[in-house]
Chain A
Amino acid sequence: MNVSEIEFGTLWTYSPWGTTEEEFRSKTMKSNLKTDAIVTEDRISMSEYVARGIKKDLEKLPFAHFFAINPVLVPMPSSSLTKTDTLWVPLNLANALVKNGLGIKVSQCLQRSKPIRKSHAGPASERPKALEHYESMSVQKELSDPAEILLIDDFITRGATSIAAANRLADAYPNANIRVLVVMKTITNPANFKKIYDPCIGKIEYSNGECFNDCIE
């Protein structure tokens, strides 16, 4: 993997172990996002809700510049194999963003060619490493030399999936500027949780086989 650092942005935070009301609400929002539930009185899906919210707040969001040069949006593939008609939340998010004028188009060029155990479950030491993710992904080269690629994902913890995906895309499109936008960042230590709506940008770094990000935790 040649790319050892990528810029990323997140919109909300989620606290799996917290006990405050805001943290319990973050768990409900996480569940709604994971199932792309219909969530508002307008009967819109969570992915549409996120896209409309980003559009509405774009000027004040720290990752506004991600959308300045009309990126191609690439949804993050699931860590698992998927059957036809299976819910794919990052794809729904990417489609909703483009529908709201954020990004020029969606490309499903990044695929999971073999399954990998789920990254959010279990302690950090048991989660798949970036290299495992990288070796399980492939790119179908359907884009012609894109200048800007924005990876779209629903959840991030350390960023192993993101850095692996960015590397796969960089292999296929060496001239592209690749960034990552993730809706929800997992805050594993409740002491570091501030509130659900907590947009930030930062860098995911890959060093000695491990991933770290400087956003919040």
Chain B
Amino acid sequence: MVAEPEFKSISVEELLGRPLNDVEKKIKVDTLFVEGSLKIPLPCPKVSIIGSRKASPQGIENAQRIAKTLIENQVIIVSGLAEGIDTAGHKTAIRMNGKTIAVLGTPLNKTFPAKNFELQQEIMKNHLAVSQFPVGYPTRPKDFVIRNRTMALISDASVIVEAGKSSGSLHQGWETLRLGRPLFIWESVVNNKELDWPKEMMEYGAMELSDPFDILEVLPTRFEMIDVFQ
């Protein structure tokens, strides 16, 4: 009998290095399983780059451009290891010697899609993979939606690069808005007349993105807050 791997388990608070506010507590999970070499608590800032599995070449290019700008400014790229936009975000971070976090919809000892096995192994070795699902947990389609909440929770901002009407990225978008964190939608998606959700999300506070540098303006910096009332 082959022993199942054991992964380190931590709380969301431990991962982020801070307690959660009341809104954050509502979507947190009790335990996260982690594997990788990234420092915990996670250094700030962290931005999710998310979108379609069946991304267009232009969508992939946009994801790469956004990730490149963020990595050049010491931002960690968070994504979900899916095909398309997610993969472009992770791979750009790795190629540019930046850091990336994969938030999985499967336990850490499984890979979906299977074609991203090597990418997941690289992330589990030199970056960080996170899952809220224990080894042995039978993965269901809705688990990928559930992990989107966690991805929103650990990211300081999220960017939807390209997404259709029923993309799982929309769940993360709404959670990001509920958390009061910046949500960016790439301009070509906002201007796509076939989609209703970008307009709706903009009414609820999402922002159109045409220049990746605009993301940097809303992020916390590496300088921690000091007690100004002393």
Interface of A toward B, CB cutoff 8 Å: 12, 16, 21, 24-25, 27-29, 31-32, 34-40, 43, 45, 49, 52-53, 56-57, 78-83, 85-87, 89, 115, 117-118, 121, 196-197
Contacts and interface: CB of A to CB of B under 8 A. Distances in A.
A31 B21 contact: no
B38 interface: no
Contacts of A115: 202-204
Contacts of A45: 21
Contacts of B221: 24-25, 27-28
Interface string B210-230: 000010011111111111110
Chief secondary structure at chain B's binding surface = loop
Given A35-B181, A57-B229, A87 B21 contact: yes
A38 B223 contact: no
Given A27-B220, A115-B203, 12 more contacts: A28-B221, A28-B224, A28-B225, A29-B228, A32-B225, A36-B23, A38-B18, A38-B20, A79-B205, A85-B178, A86-B178, A115-B204
B225 A29 contact: yes
B204 A87 contact: no
B229 to A, nearest CB: 4
Contacts, number: 95
Given A16-B217, A21-B223, A56-B229, A36 B21 contact: yes
A81 B202 CA distance: 9
Nearest to B220: A31
